[in-house]
Amino acid sequence: MDQKWAIIYYETSQGNSPVFEFIQNLDVKIQNKIAEILELLEAFGTLIGSPHSKKVTG
């Protein structure tokens, strides 16, 4: 795959990133797992498929 996806964290109007801050406050082992999954998502985008990404319903 030639083009990588970009992971962009939500930012408030004050410039805070609650998602990034949440991840930073997790255990290092969990942070590493999230980083691995985000790297896969960057590389493969929506083609990554299950179990790493699923359609959001409800």
pLDDT tens series, the chain, 58 aa: 567 889 999 999 999 999 999 999 999 999 999 999 999 989 988 788 887 777 778 7
CA distance 51 to 54: 7
Q: pTM of the entire structure?
A: 0.74
The answer to whether the beta carbons of residues 45 and 5 sit under 8 Å apart is: yes
So what's the pLDDT on residue 28?
Answer: 97
CA distances from 33 to 38, 40, 46, 56, 57 (A): 9, 11, 19, 21, 24
